[in-house]
């Protein structure tokens, strides 16, 4: 198999597919080359087991969080798959494609690829996380349309299905559209997921007091224990001198049990005026963990 490094914005027509000759290809960010080299035999085995069909192979914790906990139809809308996976394909799969973005192509062909069950031993390659207070709400038209038109199979809970859309637009930084969907399912759903997304929206707006109001409405939530554990791990690896004290505030004295969403609002407010880049990056990772856990829980609640 031949590894082709490509940028997350690559158009299919720009991919150097001719370099692979007749060999099957694996697409990935340049940072994924190491994972490809270290897992070459496992990748070949996984691709063979899929009958050499288009196969997505999650990498690291973030990749597994997205692709193991969400159906492909939803996972593909969450993040560019090159941020969290390798993509194996037959040699000639993309040769006649137009100048379409690879991510867009995968969204439009989400029923044509499978997610490998094989574990690929690799560190996460995702290195860009959404801002704590986004200023750019623009989304590609094709992605906006796909999120608006998402129709999940077996979604029996109307409010939670709506909350999934609130989550997708929140993840992509369109706070206004996320807000509209959150309001449409306000106070409804198994665990009031719309209210949780509403709280995140105001935290990022930022309107910290309003955010706390919505988190008080949410109360205890099923993702809190896992979020506490992940936040504790992220802050433990953070070199900021403030990381330890914030870990104590957020996660019951750093034990990784229990979560204080009000303290996280305070931390995000602190980051808004801080020059502590290490702390800010850690908090962005915690926010990403929160949104991924909440999206997975919202999906489960929608069933």
- Among 18-27, 68-77, 230-239, name the one with the lowest average pLDDT: 18-27
Of 254, 253, 286, 252, nearest to 267 by C-alpha is 286
DSSP E strand boundaries for the chain:
2-5, 25-28, 55-58, 85-89, 114-115
Name the average pLDDT for the chain. 91
Can you tell me the distance from the alpha carbon of 9 to that of 183, in angstroms, rounded to the nearest whole number?
Answer: 33
Q: How does strand 25-28 pair with strand 55-58?
A: unpaired
In sequence order, which ranges of 172-252 are alpha helices (DSSP H)? 175-184, 193-204, 208-218, 224-236, 243-250
28 pairs with which residues across the strands?
A: 5
What's the pLDDT score for residue 21?
A: 60
Token duo for residue 254? 């750093």
DSSP code for 17:
G
What's the pLDDT score for residue 101?
A: 86
Query: Could you tell me the pLDDT band of residue 19, with boundaries at 50, 70 and 90?
Result: low
27 pairs with which residues across the strands?
A: 4, 87
Can you tell me the distance from the alpha carbon of 15 to that of 103, in angstroms, rounded to the nearest whole number?
Answer: 13
CA distances to 36, 178, 281, 293 from 223, rounded to whole Å, are 32, 20, 21, 6
What's the pLDDT score for residue 205?
A: 97
Cα three-residue angle 120-122-95, rounded to 5 degrees: 65
Can you tell me the distance from the alpha carbon of 293 to that of 224, in angstroms, rounded to the nearest whole number?
Answer: 9
Contacts of 20 (CB under 8 A, 6+ apart): 2, 4, 91
pTM: 0.93
Token duo for residue 92? 């000639």
What's the pLDDT score for residue 100?
A: 79
């Amino acid at each position: 198999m031949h590894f082709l490094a490509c940028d997350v914005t690559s158009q299919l027509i720009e991919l150097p597919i001719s370099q692979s000759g007749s060999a099957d290809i694996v697409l990935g960010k340049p940072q994924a080359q190491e994972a490809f080299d270290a897992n070459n035999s496992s990748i070949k085995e996984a691709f063979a087991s899929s009958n050499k069909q288009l196969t997505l192979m999650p990498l690291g914790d973030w990749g597994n969080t997205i692709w193991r906990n969400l159906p492909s139809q939803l996972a593909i809308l969450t993040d560019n798959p090159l941020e969290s996976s390798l993509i194996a394909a037959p040699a000639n799969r993309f040769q006649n494609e137009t100048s379409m973005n690879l991510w867009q192509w995968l969204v439009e062909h989400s029923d044509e690829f499978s997610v490998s069950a094989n574990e690929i031993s690799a560190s996460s390659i995702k290195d860009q996380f959404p801002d704590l207070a986004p200023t750019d709400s623009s989304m590609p038209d094709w992605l906006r349309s796909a999120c608006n038109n998402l129709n999940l199979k077996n979604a029996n809970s109307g409010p939670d299905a709506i909350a999934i859309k609130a989550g997708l637009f929140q993840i992509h930084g369109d706070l206004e559209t996320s807000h509209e969907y959150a309001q449409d399912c306000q106070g409804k759903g198994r665990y009031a997921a719309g209210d949780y997304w509403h709280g995140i929206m105001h935290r990022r707006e930022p309107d910290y007091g309003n955010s706390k109001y919505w988190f008080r409405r949410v109360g205890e939530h099923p993702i809190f224990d896992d979020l506490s554990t992940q936040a504790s791990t992220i802050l433990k690896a953070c070199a900021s001198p403030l990381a330890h004290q914030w870990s104590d505030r957020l996660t019951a004295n750093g034990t990784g049990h229990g979560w204080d969403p009000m303290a996280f609002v305070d931390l995000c407010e602190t980051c808004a005026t801080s020059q502590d880049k290490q702390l800010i990056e850690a908090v962005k990772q915690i926010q990403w963990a929160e949104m991924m856990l909440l999206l997975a829980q919202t999906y489960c609640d929608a069933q």
